[in-house]
Amino acid sequence: MSETPLTPPPAATPAAPAGRTVDEIKRDPLVAAAVASSGDAITGAKEFAGEITLIVDRERIREVAAAFKAAGFNYLVDLSGVDYSTYPNYTGARFGVSYTLYSFEKNGRVRLKVTTDENTAIPSVTSVWKTANWHERETFDMLGVEFEGHPNLERILMWDGFNGFPLRKDFPVRGIDTGARIYPEVFPEGGGPMAGSTGKDVKDVNVYKGEWKRYGTWPMAEIAARAAAGGQPPAPELGDVVAPTAEPTPDAPWHDPEKPLPERMQLATAGSLKDKLFAAMAQTDCTACGWDCEGYADAIARGETSDLTLCVPGEEETESMLKKLMAEAGR
């Protein structure tokens, strides 16, 4: 076998000269026949790095795909989508979907492109190429772009019931809290490593201690707002999360995260040790320690925990005040 002569490589399509007009690109020998039979469904064309991209009317993509297949592009190489919502100076519909086609006869690739938004489905091309099936499922799974006429449009990489579309630009890179709901008794919703933990100590790992309302959830509204404004989604710190329960009450007038520590301590001077400890907390009810603020104070006062370092948003200030109070109480 190793003695066989060299077969000369077929000439690849020569790189097209840059800076051609839309009409010149459409007349390129690679695509001319297919473009002619697609008529006015092709609304634009561009060229970059020797690759031709044809912009296609969304409603007529299936028809155009069939025309290209008839013209020799019988291999659908790739189908994928792009979320253009944070693309600089972009004004079109949110999603772009690219179809990369290859013709064995002409040995060349062409890209068809359609745009759509969250609510408008694209006609599926599974009836033209069988291979489009999984590609369209993946695009739906990752971006939430729907394909009308697909035989089985369900999630493929993520699991059924997953909430969100990971490749949308407003989906946080760090992921969302899925709560590991399949084993609620082992992994309570929001369980996981402690905020700000070093990972070196047993206490860095959360153990479920009752109601977990907000720990580990993501401030979705804020993420969406920042993404819409063109910024990076924030990496939420638990200390920034202020629960709606963080409101002053007649029993606990100091329970207000806006008040500075000395003022809170002033309000609690007449109270019990638990009240003083409660006033020293950051008052956000963020539950990073495992309780709300009152619960943590109560746990310290009753001796349930002796760890005074768990208040993440209170930082150094709260920790030293807790130590001082405990020292004053002789414990």
Minimum CB–partner distance for residue 264 and another protein (Å):
40
Minimum CB–partner distance for residue 89 and another protein (Å):
9
**Rounded (10°) angle between helices 315-328 and 273-280:** 170
**Whose Cβ is closer to another protein: residue 96's or residue 313's?**
96
**Whose Cβ is closer to another protein: residue 61's or residue 79's?**
79
**Whose Cβ is closer to another protein: residue 155's or residue 274's?**
155
Contact (Cβ atoms closer than 8 angstroms) between residue 277 and residue 322: yes
Print the SS3 string covering the chain: CCCCCCCCCCCCCCCCCCCCCHHHHHCCCCCHHHHHHHHHHEEEEEEECCEEEEEECHHHHHHHHHHHHHCCCCEEEEEEEEECCCCCCCCCCCEEEEEEEEECCCCEEEEEEEEECCCCCEECCCCCCCCHHHHHHHHHHHHCCCEECCCCCCCCCCCCCCCCCCCCCCCCCCCCCCCCCCCCCCCCCCCCECCCCCCCCHHHECCCCCCCCCCCCCCHHHHHHHHHCCCCCCCCCHHHCCCCCCCCCCCCCCCCCCCCHHHHHHHCCCCCHHHHHHHHCCCCCCCCCCCCHHHHHHHHHCCCCCCCCCCCCCHHHHHHHHHHHHHHCCC
Minimum CB–partner distance for residue 65 and another protein (Å):
13
**Whose Cβ is closer to another protein: residue 100's or residue 287's?**
100
Q: Is the dihedral of CA 153, 137, 155, 91 positive or negative?
A: negative
Minimum CB–partner distance for residue 232 and another protein (Å):
9
**Whose Cβ is closer to another protein: residue 46's or residue 274's?**
46
Minimum CB–partner distance for residue 244 and another protein (Å):
31
**Whose Cβ is closer to another protein: residue 58's or residue 109's?**
109
Minimum CB–partner distance for residue 31 and another protein (Å):
15
Minimum CB–partner distance for residue 240 and another protein (Å):
21
Residues that bind another protein (CB under 8 A): 1-2, 4, 6-7, 9-10, 12, 48-49, 51, 53, 74-78, 80, 82-83, 87-88, 98, 100, 104, 107, 109, 111, 129-131, 133-135, 138, 142, 155-159, 166-167, 171, 173, 175
Minimum CB–partner distance for residue 27 and another protein (Å):
22
**Whose Cβ is closer to another protein: residue 98's or residue 309's?**
98
**Whose Cβ is closer to another protein: residue 14's or residue 260's?**
14
